[in-house]
Amino acid sequence: MWMTSDPVVHLWVLTATALVFAMQLGFCLLEVGFVRAKNSINVAIKNVMDFCIAGFLFWLFGYAIMFGPSWLGLIGTGGFMPDHLDAATPLVFILFQIMFCGTATTIVSGAVAERMGYGSYIVVSALLSALIYPVFGHWAWGGMAGPQSQGWLSALGFIDFAGSTVVHSVGGWLSLAAVLVIGPRTGRFDPGVRALGSNNLTMAASGVLVLWFGWLGFNGGSVLGDLDKAPGVLLNTVVAGCAGGLTGHFVSVLMEPKPRVEHFLNGILGGLVGITACALVVGTGSAAIIGAVAGIIVIAGGVLLDRLKIDDAVGAVPVHLFAGIWGTLCVALFGDVALFGTGLSRWQQLGVQLTGVAACGVFTFGSGYILLRVINRIFPLRIDVEAERLGLNVAEHGATSPMLDLAAEMERHRQEGKFDRPVHVEPQSDVELIAAQYNRVIDRVTSEIQRHSLLLDELGKAKVEAENSNLAKSQFLATMSHELRTPLNAVIGFSQLIADQAYGPIDEHYVEHARDIHDGGKHLLALVNDVLDFSRLEAGKFQLNEQPLDLARILRGVHRLMQPLAESGSMGLILDVSPDLPALQADERAIRQILINLVGNAVKFTPAGGKVKLSASFEPDRRLCLTVSDTGIGMDPALVSKALEPFTQLEGGLAKGHGGSGLGLSLVNALVRLHDGTLVIQTAPGKGTSVHIRFPIARTIERAAEKDRRTG
């Protein structure tokens, strides 16, 4: 049993005890920094609570189980509730061991963060500190209290200087069992999610430094009375931590476009965990290698857990379990055999170390997993989804902070879609600047919404006015067209009768005037018909009477109708129709109107001696194409879009002497669009014009397919 009255030794161990206690602060800062802000208070409270539970239960009976007289090398049986009034009580040693128990217990809090309930965590802390840690601790360390307390692992020669297995692997194994039982955080492994974010990496880095500082007491204090060995242990501890951090950083550089801070920080901790078991028996060069490899193991372990979809919120399992196993095996792999003190060779020692690692895994993980599964059935360990979404700070403690309040108000804005109320600005808080800036953004958004709302109102009114005006115009045009058509038809009929001298012979001059009246009336009637059709199109009242059309028949009819007009202008009108044209699903009257208007325009703008060609073809892309081309005067391509506008008379020599309503091309364009077709005009001054009308494949595909089958 370790016992001494040397006050220097007592002072050293008590100092180390205080340093180990500071590790609780380090764990608290680290975990609070790694989790999201909405769970930070919960994690901090758990770190305080688990030490209270561990310290009290270890004093109550944990110390007795771990260091009491052994029963078959399995469990201690004496020394319950040690009292400082008992002169035989090793107070310094008990205090030191209480800190170790607290460290093992608090490891779990980081792994299960953000989804384990507060009450559930208390149960897990009690399970670890009152049962699992003391029992395994008795197996490995019980002999520190004297030969009568030696456990079976210690009797085999198992070496774990400061707890890579007894403290860190025990905490890591139970962490693994707990995260498997409660499952991952909501959304953690959804597609595209790499991580759920950290609250404050500055705080996490501070936590690592505090842990490193406390580790000097953790490892240095474990020499107990052999103070001359403390400097070497401390040097190994520092070097291993540095090596772990550096390899963690460089491996992260190789893995990520930008190195992750979490890899660097956890690499340091991995190096410290790795050296903890063997700091007393390895050289400093070996310590550097052990720490460096531990840093790599930590990152690789994190990647493995992610692939297995095991959610460890802070990386506790890779750091404490994986690096702890590595450090325990390094006792035999790198240690000086002469310093073992077990009488075993290196390979024999490796076998014992493997036995200890396996025993810890089977006992800690096995018993922990089974007990947690049973507890979970009786008392669910995990909070519900809504509480997880809200955050454990509020859901579990009703606790809040300026940052959480601000986040809650901003979330309310997002859900409600209302930005008429600014968020509260907490004076002198760490979020004052953010809240004030957010309110300025809200003011700008509100003013923009109001401005856009006014614009929409004005546009709505303008739209209604435009629609009403357009409707009134269409109604006026339709009414006037109907009113004009009756007298015009009478004028045309009577003038034809007079010209034909149906009422008896008259002077030839009167016959010529009657024919002029007849031609003018027909021209005016055509203009009125164009206006009527255009008004119907504008009003959306032009109804297509669609049916399968024989284009060859229609084209021949238009050719015959327009032939006299072409001959009167001393020009040729050519018809070119491909054989076996498929039927076109369309309105016959509209198609005739399109062709008549286009041929009429071509004749008007083609000088004597020119040619106008009317053709139809079935194109390779299975669309029907109608073409009207001429050798006329053409026009500037830049004027095409203007020519398609209604009631447009182009200025200059192009329009001079040709008259017209300016509706011809507009009507053609509107009727083509009504058939889902496209209108393409190719023209150039002095080189004539070609108008191509292509109808969509849906209007000809069936007949085209039949043709393919017949010729196939």
pLDDT, mean of residues 115-139: 95
Residue 321 in contact with residue 264, Cβ under 8 Å? no
In terms of average pLDDT, the best of 226-235, 396-405, 490-499 is 226-235
DSSP string across 329-364: HHHHHHS-GGGT-S---HHHHHHHHHHHHHHHIIII
Q: Which of 238-247, 461-470, 488-497, 526-535 has the lowest mean pLDDT?
A: 526-535
Please give the C-alpha separations between residue 469 and each of 72, 386, 465, 538, in angstroms, as whole numbers: 104, 56, 6, 12
* pLDDT at residue number 538: 60
Q: What is the pTM of this model?
A: 0.64
> Quick one: DSSP state of residue 616?
E
- pLDDT exceeding 90 applies to what percent of the chain? 54
CB atoms within 10 A of CB 259: 16
Task: For residues 66 and 135, give the distance between their C-alpha atoms in angstroms, rounded to a whole number.
Answer: 6
* pLDDT at residue number 178: 97
CB atoms within 10 A of CB 351: 15
Strand partners, 692: 627, 680
Contacts of 55 (CB under 8 A, 6+ apart): 98, 101, 102
Task: For residues 630 and 611, give the distance between their C-alpha atoms in angstroms, rounded to a whole number.
Answer: 6
* pLDDT at residue number 447: 81
* pLDDT at residue number 475: 67
Residue 171 in contact with residue 139, Cβ under 8 Å? no
Residue 59 in contact with residue 251, Cβ under 8 Å? no
pLDDT, mean of residues 219-229: 94
- CATH 3.30.565.10 maps onto the chain at 547-649+660-701
pLDDT in tens, 228-259: 999 999 999 999 999 999 999 999 999 988 88
Secondary structure, 3-state, 623-653: CEEEEEEECCCCCCHHHHHHHCCCCCCCCCC
* pLDDT at residue number 652: 41
pLDDT in tens, 266-277: 999 999 999 999
* pLDDT at residue number 651: 46
- CATH 1.10.3430.10 maps onto the chain at 7-395
- Residues 547-649+660-701, CATH architecture: 2-Layer Sandwich (3.30)
Confidence of residue 501 (pLDDT cuts 50, 70, 90): confident
- pLDDT exceeding 70 applies to what percent of the chain? 86
Please give the C-alpha separations between residue 467 and each of 459, 471, 661, 667, in angstroms, as whole numbers: 12, 6, 24, 20
Bigger pLDDT: 272 vs 587: 272
Examine the pLDDT at 87 and tell me if it is beyond 70: yes
At which residue do the structure tokens 């699992």 appear?
A: 132
Confidence of residue 704 (pLDDT cuts 50, 70, 90): very low
Confidence of residue 481 (pLDDT cuts 50, 70, 90): low
Confidence of residue 537 (pLDDT cuts 50, 70, 90): low
* pLDDT at residue number 55: 97
Q: Which of 192-201, 406-415, 582-591, 655-664 has the lowest mean pLDDT?
A: 655-664
Confidence of residue 105 (pLDDT cuts 50, 70, 90): very high
Strands 611-618 and 678-683, bridge-based pairing:
unpaired
pLDDT in tens, 58-84: 999 999 999 999 999 999 999 999 998
Strand partners, 629: 613, 690
Q: Which of 295-309, 388-402, 569-583 has the lowest mean pLDDT?
A: 388-402
Query: Options 3.30.70.330, 1.20.1730.10, 1.10.3430.10, 1.10.287.90; which CATH number does 7-395 get?
Result: 1.10.3430.10
* pLDDT at residue number 508: 75
Contacts 24+ apart (CB under 8 A), 577-582: 577/551, 577/552, 577/615, 577/616, 578/616, 578/617, 578/618, 580/707, 581/551, 581/552, 581/616, 581/617, 581/618, 581/624, 582/618, 582/624, 582/700, 582/702, 582/703, 582/704, 582/706, 582/707
* pLDDT at residue number 135: 98
Q: What letter represents residue 384's amino acid?
A: D
- CATH 1.10.287 maps onto the chain at 457-539
Examine the pLDDT at 653 and tell me if it is beyond 50: no
Bigger pLDDT: 116 vs 6: 116
Bigger pLDDT: 124 vs 589: 124
Residue 686 in contact with residue 669, Cβ under 8 Å? no
**Quick one: which of 347, 223, 240, 228 has its CA closest to 286?**
240
CB atoms within 10 A of CB 23: 25
Task: For residues 613 and 628, give the distance between their C-alpha atoms in angstroms, rounded to a whole number.
Answer: 6
> Quick one: DSSP state of residue 694?
E
CATH number for the domain whose boundaries are 457-539: 1.10.287
Q: Give the mean pLDDT of the chain.
A: 86
Examine the pLDDT at 428 and tell me if it is beyond 50: yes
